[in-house]
Chains A and B, each alone.
Chain A
Amino acid sequence: MLIGDPVDTLMNLGTFAFIGFLAWVLMRKTPES
């Protein structure tokens, strides 16, 4: 089987979500923009 360790997978999913969050911060309108 090629299924990965669930804890590793979860931690990586968290990291992907964080990368998404960074993109959101970059794109989000601020009061100045």
Chain B
Amino acid sequence: MDSNRLLLTCSIGLCAVVGVWGVIDPEGLQAIAREIVDQYFISRGWFVMLSVTIMLLFCLGLTFSRFGDIRLGADDDRPEYSTPTWIAMLFAAGMGVGLLFWAVAEPLTHFAFLKDKTSVPEAADFALLATNFNWGIHAWAIYGTTALAIAYFSFRRGTPMLVSAPIKSLFPGERWASLIGWFSDFMAIAAIAIGVGGSIAMGVFQVADGVSVLAGTQTAAPWLVGLIFIVMVIAYIPPLMVDLSTGMAKLSNIAMSLAIALVAYTVIMGPTEFLMNSVIGGIGMYIADVIPAGFRTFTFYGDEIGRWFQDWTLTYMVWWIAWGPFVGVFVARISKGRTIREFVLGVLIGPTLFSTIWFGAFGGVGIFETLNGKGELLALTQTNVERMTFALLDRLPLATLTTLSTILAAFLFIVTSVVSAAFVLGMFSTGGNQNPSTKIKVIWGGLLGILGAAMILSGSMSAVRTLIALGALPFVFITMLLLVCLIKALILDNPKEA
């Protein structure tokens, strides 16, 4: 059996086992995943934080170095997409549905946790800071590093777009490099499949809750969740059968426009002055603390805070790492023709600015309701976190319209994610073939559906996040290896002129 076929068989096999196990015994799967992830986080949380901080410093360092002028592509290539479209596309690929889901829920969950431990204003400040950190520039540094490595080797050295390409390109024919390369591709496939499966689950929970809010029921009935899942699978299978590269850009743009409209609407209709203060204050706190926060591990703060740090910040960081190969390949493909400097500044600053505005506004409105209203949103963080975004929209005018838009945006984010993930998985599992066959794409689409179903059956968001973290763990190491390969290739290919 050649190594590509072995890779395809092993990776489909692993995903099928995890999927079927999750469907048959969701509690058992979650318990084992939880144990492995906990052990890893407790013993090596420092390494995760150090790695993501190194990735950020590396990206920033590149922009100021002589390597910043290198073009990702031939020297006369120019970007295919305008900068705003490019940023919208990478944002939709990189964060997508999670942003809708956690808009109010995350800042308020942090606030609920912190308000008993410190003063209320400090708790509010820190809740926003923690959320901005989890969704901020470190996440984009992870994506940026992975994408840069894949883009550089593919566009400057002519390798296939695979995670294994950098190590194989630097050490051709060496057995250890081939072995590590094979394992990296295998783990990339597993991490993407499990990550996107989790994303499907999250999107289905979100859409189901939106529909049940519209129907006026308290919680989303299991049959409704099942129905929405089936509709989603039916919606993403046909696009897998045709080439949709430009269509994908359009769908991402629509989803992003809906998200922008939603945040603008909330700021204008909500307590505008309070929210603008919250956004600006949040940006300021984030800028002041972004580098120290990347080194923070909360080791002296006791078990409760330590647990909170593991469940949120560490889980997010490995989550972004899990998405790294998928988003990395996608971002690499749409960034051809940009210089490394343009690339890094665009990838790091554009999306981070948007997410700080997003969480400043939505987190701000949640905190406003807690301080000045009845505190119902805060109570909801303990009982029905899935419903937070809709509960907020329900307190603003035109709730039906905004709820429908949110449902539509969530649906589009999921469909675009699954279609592009199936494409990237098809590419990875066939040795970097730029046009994987329809059959392979549909097989991956089906497996992603099974994994999504497994995560839905596991029943809770925390279970979904644990499983995603499990798939991502090896990737902390692989991404660092990519970074080292990129440094080595940059130095080898671009010697200092005497």
Measured CB to CB, the residues of A under 8 A from B are 5, 7-8, 11-12, 15, 18, 22, 25-26, 28, 30-33
Contact A25 B42 (CB under 8 A): no
User: Within 8 Å CB of A26, what residues of B?
Assistant: 484, 487-488
Beyond A25-B481, A26-B487, 17 additional contacts (C-beta under 8 Å) are: A5-B43, A8-B43, A11-B40, A11-B44, A12-B43, A15-B47, A18-B480, A22-B484, A25-B488, A26-B488, A28-B171, A30-B170, A30-B488, A30-B492, A31-B171, A32-B492, A33-B492
User: Within 8 Å CB of B481, what residues of A?
Assistant: 22, 25
Q: How far is the CB of A31 from chain B (nearest CB, A)?
A: 7
B112 within 8 Å of A by Cβ? no
Q: How far is the CB of A21 from chain B (nearest CB, A)?
A: 8
B418 within 8 Å of A by Cβ? no
A22 interface neighbour in B170, B171, B172, B480, Cβ under 8 Å: B480
Instruction: Rank and list the top 4 A-B pairs by shortest CB-CB distance, nearest first.
Output: A8-B43, A11-B43, A22-B484, A15-B47
Sampled A-B contacts (20; CB under 8 Å): A5-B43, A7-B43, A11-B39, A12-B43, A12-B44, A15-B44, A18-B477, A22-B480, A22-B484, A25-B167, A25-B481, A25-B485, A26-B484, A26-B487, A30-B170, A30-B171, A30-B488, A30-B492, A31-B171, A31-B172
By beta carbon, the residue of chain B nearest A15 is B47
Give the CA-CA distance A8 to B47 in the complex, in Å.
Answer: 13
Q: How far is the CB of A12 from chain B (nearest CB, A)?
A: 6
User: Within 8 Å CB of A31, what residues of B?
Assistant: 171-172
Give the CA-CA distance A12 to B492 in the complex, in Å.
Answer: 32
Give the CA-CA distance A15 to B480 in the complex, in Å.
Answer: 12
Q: How far is the CB of B36 from chain A (nearest CB, A)?
A: 11
- B 456-498 to A, binary, CB cutoff 8 A, 1 in contact else 0: 0000000000000000000001001100110110001000000
By beta carbon, the residue of chain A nearest B485 is A25
Given A22-B480, A32-B492, A8 and B170 contact (CB-CB distance below 8 Å): no
User: Within 8 Å CB of A30, what residues of B?
Assistant: 170-171, 488, 492
User: Within 8 Å CB of B172, what residues of A?
Assistant: 31
Measured CB to CB, the residues of B under 8 A from A are 39-40, 42-44, 47, 167, 170-172, 477, 480-481, 484-485, 487-488, 492
The prevalent SS among residues of B at the interface is: helix
User: Within 8 Å CB of B40, what residues of A?
Assistant: 11
The prevalent SS among residues of A at the interface is: helix
Give the CA-CA distance A22 to B485 in the complex, in Å.
Answer: 9
Give the CA-CA distance A27 to B42 in the complex, in Å.
Answer: 31
User: Within 8 Å CB of B170, what residues of A?
Assistant: 25, 30
By beta carbon, the residue of chain B nearest A27 is B488
Given A30-B170, A31-B172, A8 and B484 contact (CB-CB distance below 8 Å): no
Contact A25 B39 (CB under 8 A): no
Give the CA-CA distance A12 to B485 in the complex, in Å.
Answer: 23
User: Within 8 Å CB of A11, what residues of B?
Assistant: 39-40, 43-44
Give the CA-CA distance A11 to B47 in the complex, in Å.
Answer: 11
User: Within 8 Å CB of B43, what residues of A?
Assistant: 5, 7-8, 11-12
Give the CA-CA distance A32 to B493 in the complex, in Å.
Answer: 9
Give the CA-CA distance A9 to B170 in the complex, in Å.
Answer: 32
User: Within 8 Å CB of B44, what residues of A?
Assistant: 11-12, 15
Give the CA-CA distance A28 to B487 in the complex, in Å.
Answer: 13
Contact A8 B492 (CB under 8 A): no
Give the CA-CA distance A31 to B174 in the complex, in Å.
Answer: 10
User: Within 8 Å CB of A32, what residues of B?
Assistant: 492
User: Within 8 Å CB of A18, what residues of B?
Assistant: 477, 480
User: Within 8 Å CB of A22, what residues of B?
Assistant: 480-481, 484
Q: How far is the CB of A20 from chain B (nearest CB, A)?
A: 12
User: Within 8 Å CB of B484, what residues of A?
Assistant: 22, 25-26
Q: How far is the CB of A4 from chain B (nearest CB, A)?
A: 9
By beta carbon, the residue of chain B nearest A4 is B43
Give the CA-CA distance A18 to B180 in the complex, in Å.
Answer: 13
Give the CA-CA distance A24 to B239 in the complex, in Å.
Answer: 45
User: Within 8 Å CB of B487, what residues of A?
Assistant: 26
Q: How far is the CB of B484 from chain A (nearest CB, A)?
A: 5
User: Within 8 Å CB of B485, what residues of A?
Assistant: 25
Give the CA-CA distance A5 to B171 in the complex, in Å.
Answer: 38
Q: How far is the CB of B308 from chain A (nearest CB, A)?
A: 20
Q: How far is the CB of A25 from chain B (nearest CB, A)?
A: 5
